[in-house]
Structure 1
Amino acid sequence: MARTPSLRKLRYFVAVAESGKVTQAAVDLNVSQSSITTGVREIEEELGVKLFDRQAQGMLLTREGTRFLQQVRHVFQAVDEAFDSTRVHSPTLTGRLELAMSYTVAGYFLPPLLAQFQRRYPGVEVRLHEAPRPVIQAGLKNATFDLAIMLVSNLEPDTPLETHLLIRSPRRLWVGSHHPLLERRQVGLEDVAQEPYIMLNVDEAEQTALKYWAPSGLAPRTLFSTSSVEAVRSLVANGAGISILSDMVYRPWSLEGRRIEHIDLSDPIPTMDVGLAWDAGRGLTPTAQAFHDALIEAMAVG
């Protein structure tokens, strides 16, 4: 009878799948690289399928690996739900939480964390607001919003907000599965500038991109600018262009089932940082404090 992989090994697999590198997964989980490598290999042996393509650019999920990742995430969600349903909740905490978020956070980060909070604090009514950064900042200042989850890397250094960093998501180059840049030992912005570029323009992505392009004296040759991550994904996968986006929104397959690869760039590219933000002068309401603490706990455990 085949053995079931332990939750520890499954965490190793998820960490490698999300970071694309054994070295980064080892850092994230504070374990040795050999433990990660052995754990992933043992899962593949137990399943009898190849979960990763091991390439110079890193560990890339196979089609089977992508499907397995989705199932593993369901497993961890079920574990979270089991703990949440058993642990002592806070029935005395009631009230409303006005929670603001940016587009990227709403689609690619918040949903499972929000569901976990709502299970733990059923007496708290969470009202969600998706808005651009300037609106979020103004709303935190005038008490329209109690708390925000946003791209704190987009904030100006002198912003009057308190913040707590949750994750740093590296940005990498996205290319189609047969793109010639995959054959290069090193790829930089100079190489990217020669290719048609698909520019994402939500959450100030275009302004951020132009800032890190500026020191090189180069600029992307933008073929198409869009607010849709799925449009970027499809255009890249079908060979229409390339793009630099964060790992948080990376998926190895387009909606049509075409493969997307990602490449580490030799030029310094800033990470996309997601964090909590609130008005420094007002502090946190009880419901906002509960959400703040629950999110930090969830990220530490995850």
Structure 2
Amino acid sequence: MDSNFAALGKVSLRQFRAFIAVASTGSFTGAARSLNLTQSAISIMIGDLEEELELRLFDRTSRSVTLTEAGRELLAPAHRALVDLQAAVFSSRELSRKKRGKVRVAATPLFSSLFLPDFILTFQQEFPAVEIVVKDVSAPLLKSLVLEGEVDIVIGTPIPSDTEGPDGIAMDLLYLDEVVLVCKPDHRLAKLKSIDWSDLKDEPYIAVTFESGTREIVEAAMAAVDVTLTPVFEVSSVWTLLGMVAAGLGFAFVTGNSRLLTPLYNVRISRVGDRRIDRPIGIMRHPRRSLTPAAATFAQRLTEWMNAPGRRALQQR
């Protein structure tokens, strides 16, 4: 135990409060009235405090109660102790009500640019005193940021190894993002009424790297229908991928997030096969650390915001 705490012995803040009340009112009766206690309770607390400190704090007569020199020296520190405690209690209550705090969040540049700005604006209107720190990083860095404690939460698609084993990230599903095919409007695939996986075999394929969760999801969908496609290009950035598709270099797969960018590139969106290809987008956190009240509220509000009917329809249009 710290020596400073050991020196406190049985001294309590209730005794300090009684001591300050007696010093302020100049009587045990006035102190009892101000604290809504009995006079005997005040006398017992002052007596116990004097005994514990081995100091006489008040000179008592039948007509007055005055501070001794030791009492005068103790008065200012006792005031500070109560003020500091009140500030600590207020701060804790503010934190528990999510009115203050700090949220550190990491997400891919795509999610950070398309969704986080509008959400943060909405969140800060409700919680203006919560500080928000955003890190926009590539998908492979997300896991290390949360496991090393640099951020509270990350938003993205985990690869299977991210959530497995003792060091796996804890994840709460944010929403399911549909993976779709994109090509130029005058591409052969764009002219088909429906696209089957077999229609893709002879077409140039542009893929994101395996660092993206989308690549593994697309590969799994291909394996399920016994189709193998070899990319002519592999890129890390969705902006590069869409630029190549718009230039006519081939077709590609993007997620519902990415397709919000497609009007900028004049590309056509289509589904492939008769089943949706879903990519889970999750809020990931450290498996053995609790979120702060502010971070937990941020995650809850983000889930509600992302799944609002109008916003989901916008992503799926």
**Fold match by TM threshold 0.5:** yes
2:145 corresponds to? 139
Task: Using structure 2 for the length normalisation, give the TM-score.
Answer: 0.58
Q: Which residue of structure 2 aligns with residue 106 of structure 1?
A: 112
Report deviation, 1:132. 4.4
Contact 2:105–2:154 (8 Å) recurs in 1:
yes
Where structure 2 has 5 or more consecutive residues not aligned to the other structure, the ranges are 1-95, 312-317
Map residues 142-153 of structure 1 onto 2, 5 A cutoff: 142-152=148-158
From 179, 194, 199, the equivalent of 1:186 is: 194
Matched, 1:240 2:249: yes
For 2:279, the equivalent position in structure 1 comes to 272
Separation (CA, whole Å) in 2 of partners of 1:252 and 1:262: 8
- Assess, with a 3 A threshold, how the Cα gap between structure 1 residues 295 and 122 changes in structure 2: closer, same or farther: same
Is 1:196 the counterpart of 2:204? The answer is yes
- Whether the 8 Å CA contact 1:200–1:225 is kept in 2: the answer is yes
Structure 2 residue 184 is matched with structure 1 residue 176:
yes
Equivalenced residues, count: 210
Equivalent residue, structure 2, for 1:292: 299
**The structure with more radius of gyration:** 2
Report the residue type matching 1:169 in the other structure.
D
SS of the aligned residue for 2:174 comes to: strand
Q: Which residue of 2 aligns with 1:253?
A: 263
Change (3 A) 1:270 1:116: same
What is the distance in 1 between the residues matched to 2:215 and 2:126?
38
Question: How far did residue 121 of structure 1 move?
Answer: 2.0
Shift of 1:98: 1.7
Query: Which segments of structure 1 move beyond 4 Å, counting only runs of 4 or more?
Result: 152-157
Q: Which amino acid aligns with 1:253?
A: P
Higher helix share: 2
Counterparts in 2 of 1:156 and 1:267: CA distance versus 1, 3 Å = farther
Paired residue for 2:134? 128
Give the deviation of 1:290 after TM superposition: 2.0
Residues 108 and 193 of structure 1, relative CA distance in 2, 3 Å threshold: farther
Report SS of the residue matched to 2:302.
Answer: helix
Gaps of 5+ in 1: 1-89
- AA at the equivalent of 2:280: D
In 2: Cα distance, 1:212 partner to 1:108 partner: 26
RMSD: 2.8
The 8 Å contact of residues 103 and 130 in structure 1, kept in 2 or not, is answered as yes
Are the structure 2 counterparts of residues 163 and 266 from structure 1 closer, same or farther at C-alpha, using a change threshold of 3 Å?
same
Q: TM-score, normalised by structure 1?
A: 0.60
- Alpha carbons of 1:119 and 1:154: their partners in 2 closer, same or farther (altered >3 Å)? farther
